[in-house]
């Protein structure tokens, strides 16, 4: 299976999970086999809560890039 590249952007370092398995950290290019994945982050306080990603046709210089943002604070 071909290796693909994924870059998950978030303002702070968090664990990146692909199908609930840790594969690395945000803001670093990750190497994964070509496949479909459900990407989430470790911890709470981000949105969206998950992203479905199909990894194919990437390269080290053109990884698949996805973004997570901090969730807005919950009003008391």
SS (H, E, C) the chain: CCEEEEEEECCCCCEEEECCEEEEECCCEEEEECEEEEEEECCCCEECCCEEEEECCCECCECEEEECEECCCCCC
What pLDDT is recorded for position 8? 98
What pLDDT is recorded for position 74? 74
- 15 and 46 Cβ atoms separated by less than 8 Å: no
Supply the pTM of this predicted model.
Answer: 0.92
Per-block mean pLDDT, blocks of 10 residues, the chain (76 long): 94 97 98 98 95 97 97 79
What pLDDT is recorded for position 1? 65
């Amino acid at each position: 299976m071909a290796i693909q590249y994924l870059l998950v952007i978030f303002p702070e370092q968090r664990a990146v999970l692909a199908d609930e398995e840790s594969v690395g950290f945000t803001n670093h290019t990750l190497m994964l086999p070509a496949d479909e994945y459900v990407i989430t982050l470790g911890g709470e306080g981000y949105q969206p809560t998950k992203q479905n990603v199909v990894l194919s046709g990437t390269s080290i210089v053109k990884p698949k890039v996805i973004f997570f943002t901090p969730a807005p604070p919950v009003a008391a």
